[in-house]
Chain A
Amino acid sequence: MTSPTAPTATTTAPVRFATNPATGPAPGPGGGLARLGRETWILTRRSLTRIRNEPETLSDVTIQPVMFTLLFAYVFGSAINLGGPFGGTAAYHEYLIAGLFGLTVIGTLAGTAVGMTADMETGLIDRFRSLPISRSAVLAGRTVSDLVTNVLGLAVTAATGLAIGWRIHTGPVDALAALGLVLLLSYAVSWAGVCMGMVFRSAEAAQQAAFIIFLPLGFVSNAFVPTSGMPGWLQAFANWNPVSAAAASCRNLFGNPNPASSIDAWPMQHPEAYTVLWAIGVVAVFAPVAVYLYRRRARS
């Protein structure tokens, strides 16, 4: 219970309220954007500090990617032959890693939504409303910290991939471009996750809704198998699925086998451009909606 010594210390200690601007942050001279950036970074650090204090919450970007990689490589991969020039288990391992990168994009949805509902449930987000900070910084802090954890998840996936024979056959610029595309789209998807987190009242409900979206987008794609064997109507969905485009972009940029390059659909011919367009579109729609939902909570 309460410490017996602390309160008495308060009663006897002289009350000194000397403010010390030196310990506080400089009230940034920069414009609104610089301030937004600073506030976003402080809130990002909050989320990251929280992870540092409870690292078990990171299992979705540490243990899970390893399990997913090994599961697909050795269980499903053992029975999958890409066919044609891409035959063999080694080729599937080369094919798989970019698919897992593509899966990260949509996996972000659940991560952000659950993180957001958790913050809403505790009332912390409501408490932030009283602070002299931009409304969008609170939400941007959430999405940026999810971006940081995604970097970790991709690094773990890549390391596991390297261990089972996946290689990058191009240069560092292409490899970084692939990483950048995946992070760009997953960052955009985080904003949709923020909206979900604010619409659903509990972390469980948000998790389940995100999973219902995750399954078709994650699996009806070229992430794990080429789309050419799917029924025609499913092929069309898979070829226009942004997860397929993200995976195909990575395969192109890593120099991994990419059977989708012979598919006539525009997204498969221009996966990088298609991925960027999706990222822009998702942010343009969901970031304003997220800010609107957040503001609306104050106006009851």
Chain B
Amino acid sequence: MDLNGNAAIRVRNLHKAYGGHDAVHGVSFDVAPGEVFGFLGPNGAGKTTTIEILEGYRARTAGDVRVLGVDPGKPTRRWRERIGLVLQECELDPNLTIRETVGLFASFYPSPLRVDETIELSGLGDQADTRVGALSGGQKRRVDVALGIVGDPDLIFLDEPTTGFDPSARRGAWAMIDGLRRLGKTIFLTTHYMDEAQHLADRIAILRAGELVAVGSVDEIGAGLQADAVVRFRLPGGVTADDVGAVVARPVDLADDIVTIRCPDPQPVLYRLTTWAEQGAHRLDGLEVLRPTLEDMFLALTTARAEHG
């Protein structure tokens, strides 16, 4: 990690107390320039508090925070010019059209993107002259996204950018975020959709009850959790689950004729399994290998511990 202060975001031992209660308790992480950083956590974990501190909307209780090298508690104009926000809840002026709204925001930045192009990118090209008040929730969200990027910022905060999108609009938003990544923008993303984080984020931080429980790439987090891959297939006729267990030398579960084998590394298991099946002319119907998903990891890290705690 960059120790020279060149990280796009650098957070050290961040605390935020409301009354006597610590909403954020000793959080530290770095976001590298050009990285898409997914910031996840269940509701009430302190995600919004943290992002609002980084955006300069909220004062922190303790800790050191640098965003593009600047303390967001003492924002400068130049700093604001380099940062784009997509807020979680933002009502826009319902009486302005999309073009007027995006144009208004563009006019405050020294070198904004083209207004029409930004609207097009946000998937609202057909509705540029529609008043914001007449848009659906998902469409308003896309206007928010347009407002976040129109200033051509270096760092973009996307706070649940695709909430309320239909699946095709979500894919459109992902393509746009990929485009922003290719341009070298740093993106700080919060989302409730694990597939979105897995698809978009280079690295992920998972927050639970104000503390980070994991930081790293999806693979790194999976390795840290020792989450197993799962090999599954229908039990071939004429063999038992114990026969299969002897072949792969691992415990085997059987339910409704479906064999389930949990293993940290599926490759040797598959090798033994398929060799055995070919030699013995067994059919492994419905054979599949399931990698642990981010959602599995997220639930393991947040739900399980919450139950014990």
Residues of B within 8 A of A2 (CB): 136, 138-139, 165-166, 169
Q: Cβ of A3 and Cβ of B111 under 8 Å apart?
A: no
CA distance A13 to B120 in the complex (A): 9
Q: Cβ of B110 and Cβ of A122 under 8 Å apart?
A: no
Q: Cβ of B152 and Cβ of A19 under 8 Å apart?
A: yes
Q: Cβ of A131 and Cβ of B105 under 8 Å apart?
A: yes
Residues of A within 8 A of B55 (CB): 130
Also in contact, A42 and B92, with CB within 8 A (given A6-B123, A10-B176): no
Which of B93-101, B226-234, B259-267 contacts its partner? Answer: B93-101
Summed over the interface, the residue pairs from A and B with CB atoms below 8 Å come to a total of 151
Name B180-204 residues within 8 Å CB distance of A: 180, 182-183
A39 located at the interface, meaning its Cβ lies under 8 Å from any Cβ of chain B in the complex? yes
B109 located at the interface, meaning its Cβ lies under 8 Å from any Cβ of chain A in the complex? yes
B224 located at the interface, meaning its Cβ lies under 8 Å from any Cβ of chain A in the complex? no
Q: Cβ of A8 and Cβ of B172 under 8 Å apart?
A: yes
CA distance A8 to B176 in the complex (A): 11
In whole Å, how far is A281's beta carbon from the nearest beta carbon of chain B? 31
CA distance A239 to B81 in the complex (A): 51
Residue from B78, B89, B105, B124 within 8 A of A6 (CB atoms)? B124
Also in contact, A122 and B172, with CB within 8 A (given A131-B80, A298-B57): no
B223 located at the interface, meaning its Cβ lies under 8 Å from any Cβ of chain A in the complex? no
B276 located at the interface, meaning its Cβ lies under 8 Å from any Cβ of chain A in the complex? no
Q: Cβ of B104 and Cβ of A46 under 8 Å apart?
A: yes
Q: Cβ of B106 and Cβ of A24 under 8 Å apart?
A: yes
Also in contact, A49 and B100, with CB within 8 A (given A15-B121, A19-B111, A300-B59): yes
A132 located at the interface, meaning its Cβ lies under 8 Å from any Cβ of chain B in the complex? yes
Q: Cβ of A10 and Cβ of B100 under 8 Å apart?
A: no
Residues of A within 8 A of B179 (CB): 15, 17
What's the interface size class on B, roughly? 35 or more
Residues of A within 8 A of B107 (CB): 24-25, 42
Residues of B within 8 A of A17 (CB): 113, 117, 152, 179-180, 183
Residues of B within 8 A of A19 (CB): 111-114, 152
Also in contact, A1 and B172, with CB within 8 A (given A10-B122, A27-B110, A122-B92): no
Residues of B within 8 A of A130 (CB): 55-57, 80, 83, 85, 87
Q: Cβ of A46 and Cβ of B93 under 8 Å apart?
A: yes
B4 located at the interface, meaning its Cβ lies under 8 Å from any Cβ of chain A in the complex? no
In whole Å, how far is A249's beta carbon from the nearest beta carbon of chain B? 36
Also in contact, A53 and B95, with CB within 8 A (given A15-B121, A19-B152, A298-B57): yes
In whole Å, how far is A75's beta carbon from the nearest beta carbon of chain B? 35
In whole Å, how far is B119's beta carbon from the nearest beta carbon of chain A? 10
B90 located at the interface, meaning its Cβ lies under 8 Å from any Cβ of chain A in the complex? yes
CA distance A8 to B169 in the complex (A): 8
Where chain A touches its partner, the secondary structure class is loop
In whole Å, how far is B40's beta carbon from the nearest beta carbon of chain A? 23
Also in contact, A46 and B96, with CB within 8 A (given A2-B139, A2-B165, A24-B106): yes
Residue among A13, A16, A25, A132 with the highest chain B CB neighbour number at 10 A: A132
* A7-27 near B? 1/0 per residue, CB < 8 Å: 111110101111111011101
Residues of A within 8 A of B91 (CB): 121-124
Also in contact, A24 and B168, with CB within 8 A (given A9-B120, A10-B123, A13-B120): no
B48 located at the interface, meaning its Cβ lies under 8 Å from any Cβ of chain A in the complex? no
Also in contact, A39 and B96, with CB within 8 A (given A11-B171, A17-B183, A123-B89): no
Residue among B147, B178, B179 with the highest chain A CB neighbour number at 10 A: B179
* B131-145 near A? 1/0 per residue, CB < 8 Å: 100001011000000
Residue from B109, B113, B131, B139 within 8 A of A53 (CB atoms)? B131
CA distance A131 to B114 in the complex (A): 17
Q: Cβ of A42 and Cβ of B90 under 8 Å apart?
A: no
CA distance A53 to B151 in the complex (A): 25
Query: For residue A27, which residue of chain B has the nearest CB?
Result: B110
B274 located at the interface, meaning its Cβ lies under 8 Å from any Cβ of chain A in the complex? no
Residues of B within 8 A of A9 (CB): 120, 123, 125, 172
Name B152-170 residues within 8 Å CB distance of A: 152, 165-166, 168-169
Query: For residue B80, which residue of chain A has the nearest CB?
Result: A132
B108 located at the interface, meaning its Cβ lies under 8 Å from any Cβ of chain A in the complex? yes
Query: For residue B77, which residue of chain A has the nearest CB?
Result: A132
Residues of B within 8 A of A299 (CB): 59
Residues of B within 8 A of A50 (CB): 93, 95-96
Query: For residue B124, which residue of chain A has the nearest CB?
Result: A6
B126 located at the interface, meaning its Cβ lies under 8 Å from any Cβ of chain A in the complex? yes
B302 located at the interface, meaning its Cβ lies under 8 Å from any Cβ of chain A in the complex? no
Closest 3 CB pairs of A and B: A15-B179, A7-B172, A132-B80
A-B contact pairs, 22 of them (CB 8 A): A2-B136, A7-B168, A8-B168, A8-B172, A17-B113, A17-B117, A17-B183, A20-B113, A23-B114, A27-B111, A46-B104, A49-B96, A122-B92, A122-B93, A124-B92, A126-B57, A127-B92, A127-B147, A132-B78, A132-B80, A132-B108, A300-B59
In the complex, given contacts A53-B96, A122-B92, what are 16 additional A-B residue pairs having Cβ atoms less than 8 angstroms apart?
A1-B166, A3-B127, A4-B168, A6-B123, A7-B172, A9-B172, A15-B183, A17-B152, A17-B180, A24-B106, A42-B108, A46-B100, A49-B96, A53-B97, A126-B90, A130-B83
